[in-house]
Structure formats: structure tokens, C-alpha cells
Structure 1
């Protein structure tokens, strides 16, 4: 399966712009497998972030994870204040404590402007971004999380396999 649409300006990216290797993760903030993948992907970025680009797209499995969508909303609202990756990391690092009130605590800890954050979590553009990510995942053949794509192609392995691959190809 291939990635649809390609990585664009609305995506959350970190690492090297215009990198030869672009990795996209479709993730659910409450998924235990995504939680386990997080430190592996973080290690990959600390090793290779100057040579690769990493993209995160929301794929909340709301039917089985009650706080997946609220967490995605919190991350997208944080993005409007320039702190997407800080919220993304804070959520994964505290995945066991997810709740509506805990997400507000994280916003406070990250020093997001509270009044603005409370406005932003209700914005239709925030919901639309999550829906758009989810739809792109469906179009790309995502059927579980985490789902990884390397240079637009579905990667059939876990995050550890991806880190191993990067160890072999990124010099």
C-alpha cells in the first residue's frame, strides 16, 4: 500500500526537511503498541533526525480507546500554539494517566495559554485535521496502529525492525 496523500504542509514533521528518507507514523495516543513504539521512534530520531524526516498522523481508534481522540484534539490544539511535538511526547510519556482532566494538566505543564487552549480544542479546524489524517490512513490501507510508511510505502514490520533498517541504511 502507498501513502495517500503524500506528506504536505499540513503534516507535523520533525527532523530534516527534504530528507531522502521520510517516515510516517499513523498513531493512536492511547494504543499500547503506539506507546511501546514511541521510545523506539524517539531513539531513531535522536540517532538519525539530522538525516531523516519523521511525520505523525492521527489515527484514533475511538471505538476501543476512549481517550484517543481527546488526546489527538489536545495535540492539535497545542500545535496552534506551536507545541505539537511537546504535547505529542508528553501524552505518550504519560499514556497510563490519560483522561480529559489530565490532558488539561499537560497543557498547563507545557505553559500553553489556557484560555486559548480551551477555545482551540473546540475548533472545527482541529477536528477536521484529525478527520483528514484518519481518512488519509484509511485510503493508505491503515488497519491498526502504529502503522509506518517509509518513503510512501507501507512498512511491514514494527518500530524495532524500522530502527534496525535505519541502522543498516543510514550512514
Structure 2
């Protein structure tokens, strides 16, 4: 390669490096926003609605509620912020002028970016098949991950190294990440703390800390700034402005009855529409149970089904994701025919596999195993679930919920 072509190649690489910095910075900021919204929506709902809802089809609420939104106790936004902060730190200390070929660090980054793109494709597939709306922030991050992969590929491109050799070199480098990351931090970050580059080293450490602890940081932020009393007061005023709705109930003993806990003359009547596979319904069940037990003489709770499952709910798309919500609802009502509705309710709400990611067939078997656990007549349960009489009650609940303009589960009327 002559000097003219070398100069042109270096100029091209400089532009690619600048573009890479921009892409990584955008990805980092978007991941921080995703982490912010995850903490906001899931832990501090009184602080207002999420900020990434654009239209009915472009809204991040479904993504934030999904069990795919977190991993090992951290939001995917937090993991993404950690990844992009790490890439930023690497690029800030990487010296193109001292680059050796093959560049193991850059090739390893290429492999990590490839994994990031594969994860983005998987999450996009989940969005298309299991969520009712697409998350705009997520879609943008998927595009950013692809752009970063292309940029890193171009950044590491060399006339003397083939693509296959780069991939092989990157795979080998990836296998040594456990040792490589601490070595990188010591040689490129911590050593600068004892030189004139101390401010730069502190900046790198702050950048990494923000990426690693974004969830915790936003949790502390909301803990200090949320005006919970004001928010609750506003919610109460909004509730008072709503028109009174008369929700009919049939509490006369029989196979099609509505199940109620509490005295019929109680001054407070609570009607809950829930889904057995809804994670928030499962958490709220215990709060409502404690409330019912604490104020047993003055509170009456009515349990109504609204399965987010197209098998019994015509308002749900086929990809709603709750494959056994109808099965669980039918089992609870069939147990009610044998006088054990509330025992079945407790069993299902505490059945961990029902709220997890297990195979639907395994979940279904665990639901039906409740017959043995609760001492029910298995043949009668089988006959009941095969018949359509309890489906009529589910359909009745779904119709009432639709007339009430139910938006999701759990939903409560007082």
C-alpha cells in the first residue's frame, strides 16, 4: 500500500471512529432512559405515566411489564448501559496509532457486538409474537446495536487480515474476557489514577459506575423526589370524579356463582378483575388478601376473571403470551363447584411455575395437579373443565369488563 492510499485509509478510519463514538453515546443514553422507565413504571407508578408511549401500537408498557424486561435482578436497560459504558471506556483509551494486527481487543468487541445484535433479534421476535405493542425505545436500540456492529467491523477492517481470521481472533479473545477485563481496568484505567491523567481516570470510573448502577441510581432518585402523598391525593380526586358503575353479581350458591369474601352488608365493596398469569395480579393478590383479613368486617372482595388469553377471551390477540390463563381460571371455578374456590385461588396464586417461563404443558400439568393437592374429585374436575358451563361465567366476566372499558389487569372497582 503506497503512502497516498495509507493516508486515505487512515482518514476513513478516523471518520468511522467518530461515527462509532456517536453510535455508542446514543446507545448509552437510550439504555439509561430504558432503565429509568423500568424503575419508574414498575416501582414508582405514582410518579406519572411512562414517557415512551406514542400510539396504541407503539408503547413500552407491555415491554416494561414483560418478564423479558429484566435479567438477574437488573433491567435490560441497566445491562445495556453497562455494555455501552464499557464500549465507551474502551474506545476512549484505545489508541489507533498504536494498533497492532491482529487487534484482539477490537476483534473481541466485534464478537460482543454480534452477540448484542443476536439478542436484539431475539427480543424483536418476542415483541412481535408475545406483546400487543412495540416498544419505540427498544426498536431504536435494536437499530443502534446493528449500526454499532457495522461500525466496529469497519473500524477493525484491515487489508492484511481476513474476516475469518478476525472472527477467530475475536472468539479466542472472548473466551479470555474473565481475565481480560480486570487486566484492562488495571492497565488502562486504575494506573491513570496515579498519573497526570487522574481526572480522565475518574471520568472513566464515573462512566462505568453510572452504567453498572443505573437501576439503583434511578431508584434512589425516585425515592427522594416522588411526592407520593400528592400523587395519591390526585388519584383519589380523579376516582371521585368517575361515574358510579353498577357491577352486577350473582352470589347465590351454585356452579355459576360469583365468589365473594366478606359480609354482604359491608360498607366497602371491591371488585377485582385479574389474570392468573399476570405478574402484578399475583403480587396484588397478597395485598388484597391482607386488606381483606385486616378489615374483615367492613370490606367485601369479589373476584372476577379477565384472562389475557385468546383461548377464552376474544379480545386478546393470539400472541398475548398467557398460554394457561384460561386453564387456571377454569380450574379455580371447577374447584369452586366442590366448595374449594378460595383454596384453588391460593394454590394458583402461589404456584411459582404459573408465573414463570416454563413450558406451557408443564404449567398445565401443575395446574391440574392441584386436584390432588387440594383433595378434589379429579374426575369431576376433568368433566367440569371439558364442559362449557364455566366458560359461560368467564365470558360473562369478560363482557362486563369490556363494558367497563377495562385497560389491563389487575383492575379494581371500589
Distance 1:102 1:78 in 2: 15
- The residue number in structure 2 matching 1:162 is none
- The residue number in structure 2 matching 1:131 is 395
- The residue number in structure 2 matching 1:7 is 249
- The residue number in structure 2 matching 1:114 is 378
**More strand per residue:** 1
- The residue number in structure 2 matching 1:164 is none
What does 1:124-163 align with in structure 2 at a 5 Å threshold?
124-150=388-414
- CA offsets 1:47-82 (integer angstroms, 9 cap, x no match): 012221100000000133111110001001111111
**Partner SS for 2:328:** helix
Cα distance change of structure 1 residues 43 and 119 upon mapping to structure 2, 3 Å threshold: same
- The residue number in structure 1 matching 2:335 is 78
CA contact (8 A) 1:4 1:140 kept: no
Distance 1:14 1:49 in 2: 9
**Partner SS for 1:54:** strand
Q: Which moved more, 1:55-64 or 1:4-13?
A: 4-13
CA contact (8 A) 1:2 1:140 kept: no
How many angstroms does 1:11 deviate by? Answer: 1.4
Distance 1:141 1:102 in 2: 33
Distance 1:5 1:50 in 2: 21
Distance 1:42 1:5 in 2: 21
How many angstroms does 1:4 deviate by? Answer: 5.1
1:41 to 288, 296, 300: 288
Cα RMSD of the aligned pairs, angstroms, is 1.3
Distance 2:395 2:276 in 1: 15
Distance 1:59 1:43 in 2: 22
- CA offsets 1:22-52 (integer angstroms, 9 cap, x no match): 0000000000010110110111011012221
1:51 to 289, 295, 298: 298
Cα distance change of structure 1 residues 2 and 136 upon mapping to structure 2, 3 Å threshold: farther
How many angstroms does 1:125 deviate by? Answer: 0.9
Matched positions, count: 149
- Ranked by relative contact order (alpha carbons within 8 Å, sequence separation 6 or more), the top structure is 1
How many angstroms does 1:3 deviate by? Answer: 4.1
- The residue number in structure 2 matching 1:90 is 347
Structure 2: runs of 5 or more not aligned? 1-242, 252-256, 310-319, 355-362
What does 1:95-106 align with in structure 2 at a 5 Å threshold?
96-98=352-354, 99-106=363-370
How many angstroms does 1:2 deviate by? Answer: 4.8
Cα distance change of structure 1 residues 2 and 144 upon mapping to structure 2, 3 Å threshold: farther
**More helix per residue:** 2
Q: Which has the larger radius of gyration?
A: 2
How many angstroms does 1:119 deviate by? Answer: 0.4
- The residue number in structure 1 matching 2:127 is none
Cα distance change of structure 1 residues 65 and 3 upon mapping to structure 2, 3 Å threshold: farther
- The residue number in structure 1 matching 2:267 is 20
